[in-house]
A = this chain, B = another copy of it.
Amino acid sequence: MKRTFLMTPGPSPVPSFVLKGLAKEIIHHRTDEFRAVLEDVDKGLKSVFSTANPVLILASSGTGAMEAAVSNLFSKEDKIITISGGKFGERWTEIGTVYGLNVVNMDIEWGNQPSLEDLNQLLDKNPDAKAVLTTLTETSTGTVFDVKSIAEICSKRGLLSIIDAISGLGQDLFLTDEWGVDVVVSGSQKGLMLPPGLGFISLSEKAKRALTNSNLPKYYFDLSKALKSYAKNDTPYTPAVSLIVGLKESLDYINKEGVIARCGRFAKMAIAAQKAAKSLGLDLFSKSPSASVTAICSPESIKSSEIVGILRKEHGLSIAGGQAKLKDKIFRIAHMGWINEKDLISCFSLLESVLQKLGHKFKPGSSLSVLEEVFHG
């Protein structure tokens, strides 16, 4: 009997107390009972987002929340700056283009993070830009961006900062209000330990003012309407009740540890994973590795899809391969949400056995010693 275990960057494992929440008897969404859940969840989300801004809940994946940011904050031909260094950064460019915005993309090498100097130069050349849209954690490359500095640059220039924190929230430190981030987008199936199906978006006062100027079409994702309902502790359309009931459980759990303590713990796990990879003679792909996912270069003679395939088929462990131009070049180990130190140790133990089988040379057990040293040394 093989148990399967997910160490993929979304969906991440859902703990049993959240699964139980999902399976509770359904309640009607226009009742005091559900409004009490919404109220708790609102407090919990604000803690995890480190914000006093409203955090709206959408029945959609995180991509829906990204689209909502674009269609609600801009008007046709508005100029926006997108910073992309991977598959998810490119999504901002695609959405902006679909809505007829004037998108200036700052395309950075995959695995790198944006140079702040280059960003400032680009903004100097585009004084009519209204916003910068980028990613906290680019899961396709395992890279975390210095969103704090990007948001600071935006604040100084009076631009909106719009951050996709779908994969990073809960692991990569992210302080919405302290850093002055205007709009934060997230999803349920990563750090929040839920199945996919919920999107989130928080809006600063500046972002709320921008809503009123937008002339792009939107209905289901109309955030002005959602804010009106939010003020009455309600939702404009039928909410995804069971996922929100499950969300309450996961937020309670996360906030018991505290999101900042949690980010510290995941940062340590990431450092451990990085050192463990190096101890096996493997290179890291990212120059700014994330606390949520570690991207490791496959040895030259081995396709990463082989490693991923054997782990899944023979050991029931799901990690991720490379996407798009990184296919067969890297493999990615997620440490997010419900995944902990123990899981990382099992993962590297299995990884060692697969690498040995595929003929990669290293000193057996070396990654496990490194992990133990970081965790317990």
Contacts and interface: CB of A to CB of B under 8 A. Distances in A.
Interface of A: 4, 6, 8, 10-11, 13-14, 19-20, 22-29, 31, 59-64, 66-67, 71, 94-95, 98-100, 187, 189, 195-197, 216-222, 237-243, 318
Contacts of A100: 217
Contacts of A240: 61, 195-197, 240, 243
Nearest to A62: B238
A110 to B, nearest CB: 20
B217 A99 contact: yes
Residue picked from A67, A217, A218, most chain B C-beta under 10 Å = A217
Nearest to A197: B240
Contact of A242 (B6, B22, B98, B238): B22
Q: How many copies does the complex hold?
A: 2
B13 A220 contact: no
A contact patch SS: loop
B63 A219 contact: yes
Given A94-B219, A197-B243, A219-B98, A238 B23 contact: no
B23 A220 contact: no
Contacts of A26: 6, 11, 13-14, 195
Contacts of A98: 217-219, 222
Contact of A217 (B11, B28, B31, B71): B71
16 contacts: A4-B27, A10-B238, A11-B241, A14-B26, A19-B23, A31-B318, A61-B220, A63-B220, A64-B220, A99-B217, A99-B219, A189-B241, A195-B241, A195-B242, A196-B239, A197-B243
Contacts of A67: 219-220
Contact of A238 (B29, B196, B243): B196
Nearest to A20: B23
A239 B243 CA distance: 13
A197 B6 contact: no
Contacts of A24: 19
Contact of A237 (B63, B220, B221, B239): B63
Given A26-B6, A26-B14, A29-B11, A60 B239 contact: no
